[in-house]
């Protein structure tokens, strides 16, 4: 379950950011997670709950925005959405594609007071 180590790293960032901005409470954390990361949202929320205890991140609402996988074709330049891990150009059928979105994994914003 890699969600644990992801949550651990994110809690470090949240705590550090909160300290820097003088927050005493974190209310909401917005995350952007690409579909290629294969993260189970419930597992990540659970990891936050367990690991966030006794930190400033405790009790924060975790809002997850899913980023769909997109790729662009090296042959025709078409940009398309990847469904079912099918990395083949939707317009010309070429297999020479580059993933342009879907690998995201970062904190978008932190709200608190």
Interface positions with Zn ion (CB under 5 A): 73, 75-76, 78, 89, 91-92, 94
Give whichever of 87 and 106 is closer to Zn ion, judged by the CB atom: 87
Which one, 63 or 92, has the nearer CB to Zn ion?
92
Min separation Cβ 97 and Zn ion, Å: 7
- 106 CB-contact burial (10 Å; exposed 0-12 / middle 13-18 / buried 19+): exposed
> Where are any strands of DSSP class E within 1-113?
26-34, 61-67, 70-73, 79-81, 97-101, 105-112
- Is the CB of 67 or the CB of 90 nearer to Zn ion? 90
Place of tokens 């709200």: 111
Shortest Cβ 71–Zn ion spacing (Å)? 10
> Structure tokens of 56?
């400033």
- Minimum Å gap between C-beta 34 and Zn ion is 22
């Amino acid at each position: 379950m890699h969600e644990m180590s992801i949550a651990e790293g994110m809690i470090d960032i949240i705590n550090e950011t909160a300290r820097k901005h003088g927050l005493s409470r974190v209310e909401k954390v917005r995350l952007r997670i690409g579909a290629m990361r294969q993260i189970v949202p419930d597992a990540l929320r659970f990891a936050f709950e367990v690991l966030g205890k006794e930190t400033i991140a405790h009790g924060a609402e975790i809002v997850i925005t899913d980023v769909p996988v997109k790729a662009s074709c090296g042959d025709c330049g078409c940009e398309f959405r990847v469904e079912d891990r099918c990395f083949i150009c939707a317009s010309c059928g070429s297999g020479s594609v580059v993933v342009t979105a879907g690998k995201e994994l970062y904190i978008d914003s932190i709200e608190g007071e």
